[in-house]
Structure 1
Amino acid sequence: MNIRKRFTLIVAAGLALSSLSGKDIKGRVTDTDGVPMEFVNVVLLHDSAFVDGVITDGNGCFCLSYDAAQGLRLRLSYVGFDSRYADITPDGELGDIRMTASANTMLENVVIKGNASKTYLKGNALVTNVENSILAKAGTAKDVLRQIPMVVETNGNLEIFGKGTPAVYINGRKINDLQELSTLLSGNIRNVEVISNPGSSYAADAKAVIRIRTKKPQGDGWSGTFRSEDGFRHYFQSGNMMNLKYRAGGFEVFSTLTYDTGRSREKKFTDMATVTKSEWNQQLSTANTRHYKGFSGKLGFSWTISSGHYIGAFYQNEYAKNEIRSFLESDVSENGTFYDSWSTDADDISENTPRHAANIYYNGQINKLSIDFNADYIWNRGTQQTTNEETSLMQEDRYITTYSKRKTSMAAEKLALSYPVGKGVLTLGEEYTRSSTDNRFNTEYANLNSSHSTIRESNIACFVEIMQQLGRISIGAGLRYEHVNYDYFEHSRSENNLSRTYNNIFPSFNANTRLGDLQMSLSYGNRVERPGYSALNANVSYLNRMTYESGNPRLQPTRLHNLEYRMVWRNYFAQVAYTYFDNPIVNTTRPYSNDGEKTILTYENFSRRHFVQAFMGGQFRLGIWQPRVNVGMFTQWFDIVVNGNSKSMNKPIGIVQWQNAIHLPMDIWLNIDCQFTTAGNDRNIYAAHSSYINAKLYKDFCKNRLSMTLEARDIFNGSRQNLTLYNNAVTLNQKNFSDMRCLMFTLQYNFNVTRDRYRGTGAGNMEKKRL
C-alpha cells in the first residue's frame, strides 16, 4: 500500500472517529402501538463489553455518549418484551426504536416466584418495583402503598413520613377519590414512585407526590371488576364497587359506580383548662355515633387516534350524607370551685348534594415534542345543620340550631411541553386555576352572629424544568412562577373585606449519581402551604357555653424551604431532610367575649419553625419469609407561649415498622405488619405513643379472576392516639377511647382485566384538595 492510500485511509478513519467521538447517542423507545416506554434498560456495548447504561424517561427518551467509533451498538431490554439490539448511526440520532412483546407473555398462567421488590432512585423519586415481586400479591393499590418505603399509616390514612397527605397519580392522572386505589389490582401495577420534594411542574403547595404506573394493557372487548368489602368496626360497614370497560381497537369507554354505607362510633374524654380573668376547667366526655352513605358514578372515554395522539374525557357525580348523633357531658369549675354541669344532645346532618366533576385531555407526540393538556371543572353544593339541646344544672337550658350552606366551584387547565435538549429533556408549561366558595351561616342564638362570606381566588402559573445527564451525574433544575389574586368579602362586616395579591417564584433543584450499587440524590425545593378554605372561613361554631370555634380569613400562606438527601444501596435506603417553615399556620386561641371569659379556637400564623426528618430501612428474604424493617424520626425547633410563658415543643417522634410477607402452601399469602410510634411534639401538639398490628390472608382463584382477603386491623386496639394541644389561654388534653380494631372480608371478581388507557393528568389538582 502506497503512502497516498495510507494517508487516505487514515483521514477516512479520522473523519469516522470524529463523527461520533464525544457525540450524543439519542433515541426514543416505544411499544408496537407507538406508546413511549419508561424504565427500559439501554446498555451501550463495545464488542459485547459493557460501556455505559441508562434507563428511558417518562417520554421513552434516552441519551448517552462514548468516544469509540467502531464496535458500538445498543442493547434494549424490558420485562415482558424481547431484547432489541440497535446499531449506532454516524450522527448518533437513532429516532424511534420499537420493542416487541415477548411470546412468553401470552402464557395464561404466570407464576410469581416471590422475589423481593427492588427499590432504586430516579431523579428525586424513590421508585419501588411491584411487578414480579411479593407486592404483586398485596391485593389492591391501597394495600401496596402500605408496604412502600416512606409511606406510613396514621389513623387509617396514608401519609408520607414527615410530609403529610400526598397527591396520588395513576398513570399521570391525579385521583381525587382515594377509593379508586381499591379498584386497581396490585398485580396490574408496574411500580410506585414516592416524591417527597416535588419539582416545579407540580403546584407550589404539593408537599409530597405518589405516582403509580401500571402494566401494559392487553386485549379488547369487555372487562370489569366487581368488589365488595364488608366487615365490622363495632358496627357493620360496607364498600361496593363496579368498574366496567369496553375496548375496541384504540377506543375505550369506561364507567365506575361505588356505594358506601355503614356506621361508626367514637368515645373521647377532654380536659380543657382555660386561663382568662379566672381559671376555668372543663371536663367533657363525648360519645358520637356516625351513620354515613355515599354514591359515586363516573363515565368517560379514551381514544388513541393514532400512534402518539390520545384524547379522552370523563364526567363524575357524587352524593354523600353524614348523620352524627352526639351525647356530651361537661363539668365546669372556676378557680377550683364547682360552677355548673351541662348535658348536651347534639345532632349534625351534613349533605354533599351533588358534586359534579369533569376532565378532558389531549396527550400527543409531534416528532420529538411531547404535549400534555388537561382541563378540569368542579361544582359542589353542601349543607350542614346542627342542633344542640343543652341542659344546665345551675343555669337556664339552651336550645341552639345553626344552618350552613356552601357552594364551591373550580375551573382549571394545564399545558406541559417536553422536548429533548442536549443529554436530557426540557419541559415548559403553564397552569391556570380559578375557584370560588360562598358560605352562608344562620342562627337565632344571640351569642352567635349569622354571616355570609365569599372567597374568590385565581392562580396563574408558568414553569420550566430541565434535566441533563453529565457523565455519571444527572442534574435537574426547575423554576415555577405563580401570580395569585385572593379576594375575601364578608357581606355583613365591611372591616373583614380582605384582598391580596401574591407574586412568588419557586425554584427547585436535584442531582443524583450512581457509584456501583450505591445511588445518591440531593434535592432542594421551595414550596408554599396555603390554608384550606375551612381554615379561612369566618363562620363561628358553638362547642359549649365557654368555647367556640372559627377560621381566620387573615391567614397568610406558609413558605417552605426543603433540603433532602437520599441514598439506596442494594435493598437498603436512607433519607435525611431539613425543612424551614416561614409563617407556619398553627391552631391557637383568643378571647371571644368582651369580659374575656369565653374562648374561641382558631388559627394564626407563627413566625418560624425548623423541622428535621430521617428515615431508613431494608428488606430481606429467608425462604418463604420476606420481612422489611423501617425506622425513622423527626423533630422540630418550635416554641409557643402558654399562660404567658415560653414552652419548648421539641420532643422528637420516632417510628418503627416491621412488615412480614409469608408465602404459605396453596399459594396463600399471609401478611403481618406492625408499627410503633413514640410520643413527641408536632407543631403545638404533644402526641402520645401509638401502635398497631395487622394481619391479612390473601388468596386468588381461577387464574387471578377471583380473590378473597380476610383482614384484621389493629388487633390490640393500640392505634388510638391521645393528644395535648397547647395554646396561650387554653390547654386541651384529649384521650381517645374509640374502638379502632376491625375485621374485614373482601371479595373481588375480575374478567378480562386490562390497564386503564386514560391519560388525563388533571389540572388545578392542589386546589381540588383545598376545596
Structure 2
Amino acid sequence: MEQLNFNYRKNGWDLSGMLYGSRMYGWISKEVVQDTYLQEHWQQKSTTFNDWTSKNFNARLAVNYTINEHSAFGIRYDYHKTPYSKSLMETNTDVYRDGALSEKTHSPNLIDNGSEYHQVNAYYNGKIKDWSIDLNLDGYWDKSDKESYLDEKTELADGSENSRYVSIFNDIDNTLYAARLILSRPLWGGELSFGGEYTYTNRRNINLNPEGIVSDDDSRIRENMGAAFVEYSRKFGHIQALAGLRYEYNASDYFEKDVRVNEQSKDFSNLFPTLSIAFPINRVNFQLAYRTDIARPSYWDLRSSMLLINKYTYETGNPLLDPKFTHNLTLGATYRWLQLSVGYNRVKNDILNVTSLYDENDPTIMLMSLANAEAYDKIFADVTLSPTIGIWKPQWRFQLNKQWFDVQTPQGNLSLDNPMSTIIWNNNLSLPLGFMLDADFMYTSKGNMKNGRFLKPAWRMDMALQKSLLNDKLNIRLDATNLFNSYKRDFIMYVSDMQTMHMTEEPNNCTVRLTVRYKFNATKSKYKGTGAGESQKNRM
C-alpha cells in the first residue's frame, strides 16, 4: 500500500489531495456442517478454501477557501477504482442421509469483481450575526460488476458421476444526491440547533444466468428520504442537559423490469427522540441518556436476485425487510482514570440470517436469506481503567453483553440468553532512545449473539514498535496483528425450525506490517465538509 497526501496553501486558498494504491492477497478456510431434520436426517459437511487478490486505486482533490475566521466554503472530489479483484473458492461437500454417505461434490468457483465510484461534496460553513450555518451538498455514483463461474462435479454413492457448469453475471448501478442544512444560535442561555436533510437514491441490480438454473433479475429501488431535526442544550450550574427530536420520512419504490411492485414498495414515517443529562456528584461525573436509533437494511439485503454458492447452497435477499429500531438507555460514570457504562437496549426488527428449502422435492438444497426478528431485550456493562504508571500506560477494559432471545430449532424452542464477555488489556511503553512499544491482548468468551451461539472462546495478541526520527518528520512502525494466529471462531446458527448451520472459521489474519511515513511542512486541512446522506451511502 502506498499513499501520498499533500496540501498547498496561499492566502485563504487551500488545494489538497490524496493518491492511494494497493495490491492485496489473502485467504480463508472454513468448515460448515448443515443439519436438516425432515422425515430423514440430512447432513452436509463442507470445507471451503478461498484465496483472493485485488488491486485498488483511490484519489482525492479538494479546493477550500477561508473567507474569515468564521466562514469557509469548498468542494471535494473522490474517486475509487478496483480494476482487478479475483478469487477462487473451492468447496468440497459430503452429503449424508441418516448417517450414510449419499454423494460427494467438488465445487470450484472463480469470481471476478470490478467496481468504481465517484463522489462530490460541496460545503459552506459560516456565521451571520448570531446564526451559524452548516450546508453540505453531495453526489455519489458507483458501478460494480461481478462474474462467477462454477464448475461442479458430483460422485454418487453408487459410483456414478455427473457435472454442471453455472455462470452468473451481476451488474449494480447506484446514484445518490443529498443535501443537509444545520442552523444554530445561542438562545435563553443555551444553544439551539435545527435543520433538515434530503436524500434521493436510485439503485439498479441486474442478475443474469445463461444456463437458466436461477431466475434472471432486473430490479430497481428508488428512495426519497426527508428529515427534520431540532436540538437544544443548556447548562444549569454544574448540570448539562440536552433534548432533541428527529423526524424521518422514507418513501421506497421497488421495480421489477421497470414495473412498480406494490407489496415491496413501502413508506416509513418515524420520530427519534434524544435526551441526556450530565451532572457531577462529588468528584464523579455522571451522564444519563436515552435515544432511539434506526438501521435500514442495505440495498444488497433488499435484492431479489439469486446467487449460487454451490450445488447445495443458494443465497438471496429479502425485499420485504423492515428497518431495525433500537431504544437505548445508558448510564455512564467517570472518576479520574476510571469509566463505567451500563445500559439497556430494546431491539425491534433485527435482521437475521435464515434458511429454507429451495426445492421441496430436494432436501439437500438450502436457500439462505434474511428475515426480521421478533423484538428482544439486551443489557450491557463496560468498565475501563486507564492509569498512567511512569513510562507505562496500561488500559484494562471489561465488557459484558447479555440478550434475551428465543428461537425455534429442530429440537423445539431455545432461549439464547447466555452472556458474552470481552477482556481487553492494552499497554503502551515509552522506551529509551525514543522507541514506543504497544502490546495489546483481547479475549472473547463463548456466548450468544442474535440467533447464533459462539461455542468456544477466542483470544488474540497484537504488538507494535515505532520510532520517530528527524524531529518527527520520519516515523517507522512495525506491527504484528494476531501474532499467534489464535483468533478463530466456532459458531452455530439456528437458521430455521428444521435446519442448523455450524461454522468453524480459520481466517488468515496473522499479519506483519511495516509502515514508513515521511512528512514535511505538514499542516492540517482546513476543509470542513462533513457530507450529506451518509447513512444512505453506507447502505450501498
Q: Same fold (TM over 0.5)?
A: yes
Q: Do the aligned partners of 1:271 and 1:281 also contact (CA within 8 Å) in 2?
A: yes
Q: How does 1:118-267 map to 2 (within 5 A)?
A: 239-267=1-29
Q: 1:388 to 1:493 in 2, by over 3 A?
A: farther
Match status 1:374 vs 2:136:
yes
Q: Do the aligned partners of 1:277 and 1:596 also contact (CA within 8 Å) in 2?
A: no
Q: 1:456 to 1:493 in 2, by over 3 A?
A: closer
Q: Which residue of 2 aligns with 1:635?
A: 402
Q: How does 1:285-324 map to 2 (within 5 A)?
A: 285-320=47-82, 321-324=84-87
Q: Which residue of 2 aligns with 1:739?
A: 508
Question: What are the superposed Cα offsets for residues 132-173 of structure 1, whole Å, 9 maximum, x if unpaired?
Answer: xxxxxxxxxxxxxxxxxxxxxxxxxxxxxxxxxxxxxxxxxx
**What is the identity, as a one-letter code, of the residue corresponding to 1:476?**
L
Q: Which residue of 1 aligns with 2:494?
A: 726
The structure with more helix, counted as a fraction of residues: 1
Q: Do the aligned partners of 2:112 and 2:147 also contact (CA within 8 Å) in 1?
A: yes
Q: How does 1:604-753 map to 2 (within 5 A)?
A: 604-643=371-410, 645-687=412-454, 688-728=456-496, 729-753=498-522
Q: Do the aligned partners of 1:451 and 1:492 also contact (CA within 8 Å) in 2?
A: no
**What is the identity, as a one-letter code, of the residue corresponding to 1:667?**
G
Q: Which residue of 2 aligns with 1:415?
A: 181
Question: What are the superposed Cα offsets for residues 418-450 of structure 1, whole Å, 9 maximum, x if unpaired?
Answer: 100122100010000111110000002333111
Q: Distance in 2 between matches of 1:737 and 1:509?
A: 43
Q: 1:495 to 1:423 in 2, by over 3 A?
A: closer
Match status 1:487 vs 2:249:
no
Match status 1:282 vs 2:44:
yes
1:485, distance to aligned residue in structure 2 (A): 0.2
Match of 1:396, SS state, is strand
Pick one of 543, 559, 583 that aligns with 2:349: 583
Q: Which residue of 1 aligns with 2:283?
A: 517
Q: Do the aligned partners of 2:254 and 2:261 also contact (CA within 8 Å) in 1?
A: no
1:736, distance to aligned residue in structure 2 (A): 1.7
Q: Distance in 2 between matches of 1:445 and 1:680?
A: 43
Q: Distance in 2 between matches of 1:722 and 1:584?
A: 22
Q: Do the aligned partners of 1:490 and 1:496 also contact (CA within 8 Å) in 2?
A: no
Match of 1:243, SS state, is strand
1:528, distance to aligned residue in structure 2 (A): 1.2
Match status 1:404 vs 2:170:
yes
Q: Do the aligned partners of 1:251 and 1:301 also contact (CA within 8 Å) in 2?
A: yes
Q: How does 1:559-578 map to 2 (within 5 A)?
A: 559-578=325-344
**What is the identity, as a one-letter code, of the residue corresponding to 2:252?**
Y
Q: 1:492 to 1:463 in 2, by over 3 A?
A: closer
Match status 1:332 vs 2:100:
no
Match status 1:349 vs 2:112:
yes
Q: Distance in 1 between matches of 2:361 and 2:457?
A: 39
Q: Which residue of 2 aligns with 1:764?
A: 533
Q: Which residue of 1 aligns with 2:235?
A: 469
Q: Distance in 2 between matches of 1:691 and 1:429?
A: 45
Q: Distance in 2 between matches of 1:309 and 1:627?
A: 42
1:496, distance to aligned residue in structure 2 (A): 7.4
**What is the identity, as a one-letter code, of the residue corresponding to 2:87?**
I
Q: How does 1:590-601 map to 2 (within 5 A)?
A: 590-595=356-361, 597=363, 598-601=365-368
Q: Do the aligned partners of 1:720 and 1:740 also contact (CA within 8 Å) in 2?
A: no
Q: Which residue of 2 aligns with 1:361?
A: 123
Pick one of 154, 166, 173 that aligns with 1:392: 154
Match status 1:528 vs 2:291:
no
Q: Which residue of 1 aligns with 2:210?
A: 444
Q: 1:365 to 1:386 in 2, by over 3 A?
A: same
Q: Do the aligned partners of 2:88 and 2:111 also contact (CA within 8 Å) in 1?
A: yes
Q: Distance in 1 between matches of 2:471 and 2:394?
A: 27
Q: Distance in 1 between matches of 2:224 and 2:273?
A: 21
**What is the identity, as a one-letter code, of the residue corresponding to 1:333?**
Y
Q: Distance in 2 between matches of 1:615 and 1:608?
A: 24
Q: Do the aligned partners of 1:388 and 1:401 also contact (CA within 8 Å) in 2?
A: yes
Q: Do the aligned partners of 1:251 and 1:304 also contact (CA within 8 Å) in 2?
A: yes
**What is the identity, as a one-letter code, of the residue corresponding to 1:285?**
T
Q: Which residue of 1 aligns with 2:313?
A: 547
Q: Which residue of 1 aligns with 2:265?
A: 499
Q: 1:495 to 1:459 in 2, by over 3 A?
A: closer
1:594, distance to aligned residue in structure 2 (A): 3.7
Q: Distance in 1 between matches of 2:526 and 2:459?
A: 39
1:489, distance to aligned residue in structure 2 (A): 1.6
**What is the identity, as a one-letter code, of the residue corresponding to 2:284?**
L
Question: What are the superposed Cα offsets for residues 602-651 of structure 1, whole Å, 9 maximum, x if unpaired?
Answer: 01112212111110111122222221111011010001101161111111
Q: 5+ unaligned residues in a row in structure 1: which ranges?
A: 1-238
Q: Distance in 2 between matches of 1:507 and 1:311?
A: 31
Query: Percent same amino acid among aligned pairs?
Result: 27
Q: Distance in 2 between matches of 1:490 and 1:606?
A: 26
Question: What are the superposed Cα offsets for residues 483-513 of structure 1, whole Å, 9 maximum, x if unpaired?
Answer: 1101112239986752111111111100001
Match of 2:219, SS state, is strand
* TM-score computed with the length of structure 1 as normaliser: 0.68
Q: 5+ unaligned residues in a row in structure 2: which ranges?
A: none
Stretches of 4+ aligned residues off by more than 3 angstroms: 492-497
Bigger Cα displacement from structure 2, 761-770 vs 438-447:
438-447
Q: Which residue of 2 aligns with 1:106?
A: none
Match of 2:162, SS state, is coil
Q: Do the aligned partners of 1:423 and 1:470 also contact (CA within 8 Å) in 2?
A: no
Match of 2:215, SS state, is coil
Match of 1:704, SS state, is coil
Match of 2:519, SS state, is strand
Q: Distance in 2 between matches of 1:507 and 1:528?
A: 12
Q: 1:590 to 1:319 in 2, by over 3 A?
A: same
**What is the identity, as a one-letter code, of the residue corresponding to 2:522?**
V
Question: What are the superposed Cα offsets for residues 113-144 of structure 1, whole Å, 9 maximum, x if unpaired?
Answer: xxxxxxxxxxxxxxxxxxxxxxxxxxxxxxxx
**What is the identity, as a one-letter code, of the residue corresponding to 2:210?**
E
Q: Which residue of 2 aligns with 1:208?
A: none
Q: Do the aligned partners of 1:539 and 1:550 also contact (CA within 8 Å) in 2?
A: yes
1:544, distance to aligned residue in structure 2 (A): 2.4
Q: Distance in 2 between matches of 1:494 and 1:411?
A: 22
